[in-house]
Chains A and B, each alone.
Chain A
Amino acid sequence: MKYFMRKIVFFIVTIWIAITLNFILPRLMPGNPAQAMMSKFAQQGAITPSQEHALALMLGMPTGSLWTQYWQYLLHVCEGNFGVSYSFYPVKVITVIAGALPWTLTLVGLVTIIQFVVGTLLGVYAAWHRGRKFDSVATVLFSFTSAFPYFWIALLFIYLFGYILNWFPISGGYSGSLSPALNWSFVGSALYHSILPALTIFITGIGGSLLSMRNNMINTLGEDYILLGRAEGLSETVISIRYAARNALLPIVTNFAMTLGMVVGGSLLMETVFAYPGMGYLLSTALSNQDYPLLQALFLFITVSVLLANFAADIVYGFLDPRVRRGGAR
């Protein structure tokens, strides 16, 4: 129980830190991006005093003491009020994000899970047949592919499958003639458009899962209980899956947040290349327009998604490994 309480507290603390970072960063930097933003807004047209006030709060214009600003900021974040987007003026930031989040969550979430399962199973296989052909080819090949920048693979895919072979669409999340709805033509079009992005995440991500599982598994295979299992004459499948793989999986679950953080970071860049209508594409739009309210909110939503997934992994870990629940060895 103590373990779960600790994880819940850590989860809340990290979210609070992410929000606070968002508040502090613009105020730490020289040159006040807020001022620049305000003048840009003024150029675009008149803004009402209340909008100006909200913007000022969002961007850190000095109104009131730092503490009152901070409390107001926290309140606004809790209400989901992130201000107005500059690049999609006058749409609210929260509305812009609500349109993009489902795309990224489904694509990146699903492919990450598939990639993790396939990579881990291949890792078990490679470790079990260590030194054989598959293992030697796979370790060299996948340490190479896991070093590929996501956006670079995406660019090559566009060139190969979009430009040369003309098999897949090269940009967007669905055909331009359709509008988002739950019918077959739209879902089919969305699936068709997501093949290249999904393949990008799969190919660059799978190496990491395979290699870390393989190395953990080789460590586990040296344990005495594996030797005992062999001495007892247990079948290869039982030893490899139920004895070795289960234990080798534990450190991977612990490192889940970092792995996920890397996949998410890479996927965001990949979305930019494919103009996929998710968070990553929004991120690059926000960057090129210096849309700080949108940028802040994007960071917060991406972070909270990763933290939630990590929190879930921590809870799963608690059930997988009875030692941590009893507060024993970590």
Chain B
Amino acid sequence: MVDKPSLTSHHEDSTSVQLTEKVRKNPHFLSLLWANPKARIGIIMLCFFFAMAIFGPFVAPYSLADTNFPTSQTPSIVHWLGTTQSGQDVLTELLYGARISLFVGFVAGAIVILIAMFVGFVAGYFGGWIDDMLSLLMNVILVLPGLPLMILIAAYMPSHGIGEIILVMSITGWAFGGRSLRAQMLTMVQQDYVIAAKFAGERPLRIIFYEILPNMLSYIVANFFGAVVGAVLAEAGLEFLGLGNPSITSWGTMIYWAQSSDAMLSGQWAWILAPGLCIAGLAAALTFVNFGIDAVANPRLQGE
């Protein structure tokens, strides 16, 4: 097990006053991250996609509801990415779709990381039979193939929509983060400051969230981004299979419609290329940021 020391512990005694350390740590961490070229690419790409989600509908050339264009057009000056089989502008769909795709990805990622934190921390902190039970549960979920399991659950859902997709991904996606946070917690509980806090009579919840959590922040953020990547890709997969709500515009449903109307056999390359590239770009951006976090937090990967 590679020990990942917290960022400031090289320079300072970890038992020094927690508060000042916390205040100084964040800007320090971000500037370190920005200095890493891969993380910088990732952050810039991420900002681009966020801008797209926030401002997209305002800069979209047409209205999303406008279906009066000639159908199944290839890219032209009027329609940069062509039009759909029902006469919508593909670029407009792409810009509106960013909202749903980012929303679903980040909300599902947040729920996943919260469950993972709760289970991982409880298992790692308390140990014993609690750990045995929770670890078994995590290992079982981890070996069950994720996407087929999501498909099975989603297929039984009485309705298909954003909420259902987020729910399915939250139920099945937390085990990976849970396991790695548990492993991290196992090394944390043996540190002197935790033992000192226990002897001082602090309650477990306070120790976990006030003493240990700040030292694991980089780790949690990395796991969160990993969870969002998983959620973005899984969302696209489920929507592609028609398990989302096809009348909602997201990047996944765009590919669903492109496939079901044989866009690649009528030469509409842009309709397929654009949403997939956005999905891959978003996932890659988050992965790049994670590379940076890893490089900053893990001294062996430094100097890249």
- Chain A interface (Cβ < 8 Å from any Cβ of B): 10, 13-14, 17-18, 21-22, 25-26, 28-31, 33, 130-131, 139-140, 143-144, 146-149, 151-153, 155-156, 158-159, 162-163, 170, 215, 218-219, 222, 257-258, 260-262, 264-266, 268-269, 272-273, 283-284, 287-288, 290, 292, 295-296, 298-299, 302-303, 306-307, 310
Contacts and interface: CB of A to CB of B under 8 A. Distances in A.
Contact of A143 (B2, B255, B279, B291): B291
A21 B172 CA distance: 13
Interface residues of B, number: 55
A303 B145 contact: yes
Contact of A156 (B153, B276, B279, B283): B276
Contacts of A22: 152
Interface string B208-237: 000000000000000000000100010011
B40 to A, nearest CB: 12
A260 B146 CA distance: 10
B143 A310 contact: yes
Contacts of B129: none
A10 B139 contact: yes
A86 B176 CA distance: 36
Nearest to B149: A299
Contacts of B147: 261-262, 264-266, 268-269
Main secondary structure on chain B at its contact with chain A? helix
Contacts of B269: 156, 159
A25 B279 contact: no
Interface in B132-183: 136, 139-140, 142-149, 151-153, 155-158, 176
B45 to A, nearest CB: 10
Interface stretch (B87-95, B115-123, B197-205, B239-247): B239-247
Nearest to B41: A140
B152 A155 contact: no
18 contacts: A25-B156, A31-B158, A146-B287, A147-B284, A149-B240, A149-B280, A156-B269, A215-B301, A219-B2, A219-B301, A257-B143, A261-B145, A265-B147, A265-B148, A283-B151, A295-B155, A302-B145, A302-B148
B30 interface: no
